[in-house]
Amino acid sequence: MYFPDIPVIPFEGPESKNPLAFKFYDPERVILGKKMKDHLPFAMAWWHNLGAAGTDMFGRDTADKSFGAVKGTMEHAKAKVDAGFEFMQKLGVKYFCFHDVDIVPEADDIKETNRRLDEISDYILEKMKGTDIKCLWGTANMFSNPRFMNGAGSSNSADVYCFAAAQIKKALDITVKLGGRGYVFWGGREGYETLLNTDVKFEQENIAKLMKMAVKYGRSIGFKGDFYIEPKPKEPMKHQYDFDAATAIGFLRYYGLDKDFKMNIEANHATLAGHTFQHDLRISAINGMLGSIDANQGDYLLGWDTDEFPFDIYDTTMCMYEVIKAGGLTGGFNFDAKNRRPSYTVEDMFHAYILGMDSYALGLIKAAKIIEDGRIDSFVKERYASYETGIGAKIRAEETSLEELAAYADKLGAPALPGSGRQEYLESIVNNILFCG
C-alpha cells in the first residue's frame, strides 16, 4: 500500500466536515435520468498525479513521488502503476490518461523505449484485471525531448518527423492494447517562435499528413475511438497552430480530418486563448466535435498555464450545461491538474481530486437545475422569435433574396430596436440557482 493512511473516500454530503469525504460527488445519484458516475467519467492524468513533484522554473521538487523506488527505473515505473491504481480505487476514479514517457523512463534508443512500453503495458493490463478502471486516452510526448525543439509534425527536420511518427505508432499500439477510448494530439511545439524562419503553410500541411497517417494506422490496428486535437494558443511556443477550438476545427475540415477527430477542450487553454472555458465548449459542441475535457482551471492574474484543480463553480456549472446540452462526451473529464507547489503531501493529492470531483458534481447538479428551471432556455428561444414566422422564417428557409429583404426594409422605414439582452436578469437567475437551494 502506498497510501496506508487514506481510506476509500466515502460520500458524506454537503454538511460533512471530513476532508477525506465527498460532499457532492455521489456516484449513484441520478440526475436527469442518468447516474452521476455516468455523467462524469473522471480520469487521472498520469503525468501530473504520479509524476509532477513541484519543480518549477525557480525551484526543485517539493513532493516525493518516488513511491519507494529509484526514479528513472522500471521499478519506479511499476511502483507508479501500483500507486496510481490504489489512488484511483480509493477515489472511485475509473479512467486514466497517459503520455508514452509518463509510463516508462525514455531510453536513448527508441527500440529500448518501445521494449519498456511493452513491458509496462503488460503490467498495467494485468493490474486492470479485476478492477473497473480503463484507459480514457493515450498520447505521445513529442515536446520534451530536445529533438522536438522545432515541433514534431511541424519540424523542419524530416528525421525528427520520422521519430514523431514512430512515437505516435507505438503510443497508438499501447492505447489500443489498453482499450483506450481516445487518442490525443496536443500540438505542444507545433507552432513557431518567429515567422522569419517559418513556412506556416508547409508546416501545417505536414501536420495534417502525419495525422492522416495516424488515422490510417490506428484504424488498421482496430482503434475505433476518437482522435482528439487539444487546442492551446501558446506555451511553450509563442504561437501554436491549434490556437482554439474554432481554429482547430477549421484545420480539420480543410484537411478532411473532421470525421475522425473531435476536440479535447482544456479549461486553462481556453482562457489562455482569451476565451471562457464555456466558449470553447460551445464552439466544439455546435460543430459536433465536443469529445473530451481536460478539467482544470487557470488563474486570471497569471498569463500562463497553471493547471490548477477546478474549484470555480460558475465554470463547472456552465461546462456541465454545455455537456448536458451536447448529449454528453465520447471521452471524459481528465484532471490535467497539479497540486500547488506548497501542497506536497499525500493528503494534498487526495484533497485535490476530492475538490475537482466535487466541483464537477456540484456543477452537474446546478446545470441540471438551470435546465429544469427553463427560464434561460426559454429566454434564448424567445430572443430569436422574429425568425419563426414571416420574413424571418423565409430567411431561415433560404426562400428569399437580398432584393426582397431590401424592399421589406424600405417598407419598415425604421425598424424597432431588437429586444433587450437582459444579461443582468439572466445572471441573477444563475446566482439564484447556484446559491439558493
Q: Which of 203, 260, 336, 358 binds Ca ion (CB under 5 A)?
A: 336
Nearer to ligand XLS, 272 or 370 (CB): 272
The residues near 296 (Cβ < 8 Å, ≥ 6 apart) are 266, 267, 268, 307, 308, 309, 310, 335, 336, 337
CB of residue 148 to ligand XLS, shortest distance in Å: 12
Nearer to ligand XLS, 293 or 433 (CB): 293
- Residue 93, CB-side half-sphere exposure with 13 Å CA sphere: 29
Nearer to Ca ion, 9 or 291 (CB): 291
| 272: contact with ligand XLS by CB under 6 A | no
Q: For residues 156 and 150, give the distance between their C-alpha atoms in angstroms, rounded to a whole number.
A: 7
Nearest to 112 by CA among 153, 159, 70, 170: 170
Q: For residues 251 and 25, give the distance between their C-alpha atoms in angstroms, rounded to a whole number.
A: 37
End-to-end CA distance of the chain: 41
Q: Which of 100, 203, 242, 266 binds Ca ion (CB under 5 A)?
A: 266
| 230: contact with ligand XLS by CB under 6 A | yes
CA distances from 131 to 85, 95, 125, 417 (A): 9, 11, 10, 60
Tell me which stretch binds Ca ion (CB under 5 A): 50-58, 161-169, 278-286, 328-336.
328-336
Q: For residues 326 and 128, give the distance between their C-alpha atoms in angstroms, rounded to a whole number.
A: 30
Count of CB atoms situated within 10 Å of the CB of 403: 8
184 binds, among Ca ion, ligand XLS, none (CB under 5 to 8 A by kind): ligand XLS
CB of residue 141 to Ca ion, shortest distance in Å: 12
Give catalytic status of residue 5 as yes or no: no
Q: Which of 76, 336, 363, 433 binds ligand XLS (CB under 6 A)?
A: 336
Q: Which of 88, 124, 184, 324 binds ligand XLS (CB under 6 A)?
A: 184
Give catalytic status of residue 258 as yes or no: no
| 294: contact with Ca ion by CB under 5 A | yes
Per annotation, catalytic residue among 26, 100, 102, 305: 102
Output the nine-digit C-alpha cell for 288: 459536433
Q: Which of 22, 148, 186, 223 binds ligand XLS (CB under 6 A)?
A: 186
Is beta strand 182-186 parallel, antiparallel or unpaired with respect to 95-99? unpaired
Nearer to ligand XLS, 139 or 359 (CB): 139
Q: For residues 180 and 39, give the distance between their C-alpha atoms in angstroms, rounded to a whole number.
A: 18
| 139: contact with ligand XLS by CB under 6 A | yes
Cα three-residue angle 437-296-436, rounded to 5 degrees:
10
Per annotation, catalytic residue among 39, 99, 269, 275: 99
Tell me which stretch binds Ca ion (CB under 5 A): 72-80, 171-179, 289-297, 418-426.
289-297
| 294: contact with ligand XLS by CB under 6 A | yes
CB of residue 160 to ligand XLS, shortest distance in Å: 18
Q: For residues 248 and 245, give the distance between their C-alpha atoms in angstroms, rounded to a whole number.
A: 5
Q: Which of 23, 78, 80, 232 binds ligand XLS (CB under 6 A)?
A: 232
| 165: contact with ligand XLS by CB under 6 A | no
CA distances from 241 to 283, 316, 417 (A): 17, 27, 40
Binding site for Ca ion (CB under 5 A): 266, 268, 294, 305, 307, 336
Binding site for ligand XLS (CB under 6 A): 99, 139, 184, 186, 230, 232, 266, 294, 305, 336
Residues identified as active-site: 99, 102
